[in-house]
Homo-oligomer: A and B are copies of this chain.
Amino acid sequence: MIKVGIVGGTGYTGVELLRLLAQHPEARVEVITSRSEEGVKVADMYPNLRGHYDGLAFSVPDAKRLGACDVVFFATPHGVAHALAGELLATGTRVIDLSADFRLQDADEWAKWYGQPHGAPELLPEAVYGLPEVNREAIKSARLIAVPGCYPTATQLGLIPLLEAGLADTSRLIADCKSGVSGAGRGAKVGSLFCEAGESMMAYSVKGHRHLPEISQGLRRAAKGDVGLTFVPHLTPMIRGIHATLYAHVADRSVDLQKLFEERYANEPFVDVMPAGSHPETRSVRGANVCRIAVHRPQGGDLVVVLSVIDNLVKGASGQAIQNMNILFGLDERMGLSNVALLP
């Protein structure tokens, strides 16, 4: 039984870790921390957990108790994992960080986008970017895993078949992404209010969103070269879900894109290439650790449109984190992650 610690468990990725781990036969949550909610039972804060974690309460972060865990998930705002990860690694505990702290390989770029110096650049060389469909082998032996962001997961999984195959014009990629409001977290912000985000749609951060460098880094790896990406995120009036609509120029009209995608993901348990002509709905992955993809070439032209959907809290965060844990500990990658999406 894997002993699990969670740092910063009061947000949506925290409760989602708890929901999923409750069904995991080989993991047990031993510690969950929160400074503000010390002593509060998790089931009092999140009543959906009643009957599942009745003894578990939030405690203040304590390196010793966390260090006694086999693995610690960070479900924290950026910056927190920088401070604690090294100490935990030193005790032999594996770290799976759901925040952005170790996603960018370049500490300077991190500092630029996050507006503060990187707090643990010495750990970057060993941090593994936890996108199993790309890095499965490296994950197996990792000590420190950076779980990809939600937009980056949907976008990379949608584009890398084209990039790895060298088919797309990499200078002009577009990711028009739509996110549910839970992507903004559980913080009490006016913009996330029901009456502000409901019954409306808007783009945001068109000037530059923090996920842009992360996506670009991943696409460069796949393309083995520079990429030019325009990324426009949108806030959508739904709780969960990301719909990435991806545009790439593929001059060679003879290539069988459906086959390309199906072959690329043939052995991936959590990527579903849908039949030609499909339009994946975000609800088809609600609560499930799946990315569903469809590829189109409208009017037979040069521009290829890839539709890629995930649940931002599952394959875009907590589910993917557990998938990484499974790989890390040599378990069946699907363990605890086989539930069917909730539809309707």
Residues of A within 8 A of B (CB): 12, 15, 18-19, 22-23, 46-52, 172, 174, 176, 178, 180-182, 186, 188-190, 192-204, 206-208, 228, 230-232, 234, 236-241, 243, 245, 247, 249, 272, 274, 277-288, 290, 292, 296, 298-299, 301, 303, 305, 307, 309, 338-344
Contact = CB atoms under 8 A, between A and B. Distances in A.
Contacts of A228: 301
B178 A188 contact: no
Contact of A247 (B201, B230, B285): B230
B207 A48 contact: no
Interface centre among A180, A195, A196 (most CB of B within 10 A): A195
A178 B181 contact: no
Contacts of A301: 228, 230
Contact of A192 (B194, B280, B296): B194
A48 B341 contact: yes
- Number of copies of chain A assembled together: 4
Contacts of A19: 340, 342-343
A305 B172 CA distance: 13
A202 B48 contact: no
Contacts of A341: 48
B239 A198 contact: yes
Contacts of A186: 190, 193, 195-196, 344
A307 B301 CA distance: 25
27 contacts: A19-B342, A22-B340, A46-B343, A48-B283, A50-B292, A176-B245, A180-B201, A194-B196, A194-B237, A198-B198, A199-B240, A199-B241, A199-B283, A199-B286, A202-B280, A202-B309, A203-B305, A206-B279, A207-B298, A207-B299, A208-B299, A230-B303, A230-B305, A236-B237, A237-B237, A237-B238, A339-B339
A47 B194 contact: no
Contacts of A234: 178, 243, 245
B201 A238 contact: yes
Given A188-B190, A203-B279, 7 more contacts: A47-B292, A48-B343, A193-B193, A198-B239, A200-B283, A207-B277, A232-B298
A200 B274 contact: no
Contacts of A180: 201
Contact of A194 (B181, B288, B305, B309): B181
Given A193-B192, A194-B192, A305-B232, A342 B48 contact: yes
Contact of A202 (B194, B243, B290, B298): B243
A292 B241 CA distance: 27
Contacts of A204: 279
A279 B51 contact: no
A201 B198 CA distance: 14
